[in-house]
Amino acid sequence: MKNNMKTIGLIGGMSWESTQLYYRIINKTIRKKLGKHHSAKILIYSFDFEEILEYQNDWIQITEKITDKAQKLEKAGADFILICANTMHKTFDDVQKAITIPIIHIADVTARKILKKGFKTVGLLGTKLTMEEDFYKKRLKEKFDIDVLIPSEDERNLVHKIIYKELVAGKIKKYSKHMYYSIMYELIEQGAEGIILGCTEIPLLIKQKDIRIPVFNTTRIHAEAAVNFALKNEKRLK
């Protein structure tokens, strides 16, 4: 049978701990939807994350690097691209202008899940850049009319520190889990109806089954959106 599945381009390695989640979720979802021995058609460019961190305050350099890899994935045959990191979506507009294939924006697909729940106000956990700058929050507000609450400055510093000192290295600590839960409940007390796990490493630490607060796992949402796009013209095979 002719296979019309689109080829997914992943820009990962930011960090590889979350990129492996993308690979696993995408392939498991393809298998669930299509059955038999089906798996996804995926092209991956995985950065050496240390090189990205060296340019962490130079967004011109970071944008150039991500744009270069997006162009390479397009030339290699990707039909669309995912940037496998919430923070790196700061480069989204410039990278999208440089290629002809679409990039699926992680905030857009997450917003649609939030609206499907009927929520209008959510809390956001992520890197300091994602929580503090407008490229993420403003998009949610202007495109989807979703209000975003963020933790206090000290809490933002803690959330950020746990991401970079622990989660990107695959370290899962009970104390850190407890602190994240505490911060999430405070956001709920402030009016958040749910919490965006706005860093693709956070789902390594926080699981919906462990907490009563509705959470939006951006890693899973993004990966599953990729599957839906890849199978848009694909018949269900069983």
Question: In this structure, what token pair is assigned to residue 130?
Answer: 């994602």
Least confidently predicted of 47-51, 93-97, 122-126 = 47-51
* pLDDT tens column, 27-36: 999 999 998 9
* pLDDT tens column, 12-58: 988 888 899 999 999 999 999 998 999 999 999 999 988 888 887 89
For the chain, percent helix, then strand, then coil, each to nearest 5? Answer: 55, 15, 30
Q: How many alpha carbons fall within 13 Å on the CB side of residue 126?
A: 30
Domains, the chain, ranges and CATH? Answer: 8-105+222-230 (3.40.50.1860), 106-217 (3.40.50.1860)
Cα–Cα distance for residue pair 136/176, rounded to 1 Å: 24
DSSP letter string over 38-83? ----EEEEE--HHHHHHTTT-HHHHHHHHHHHHHHHHHHT-SEEEE
Cα–Cα distance for residue pair 180/169, rounded to 1 Å: 17
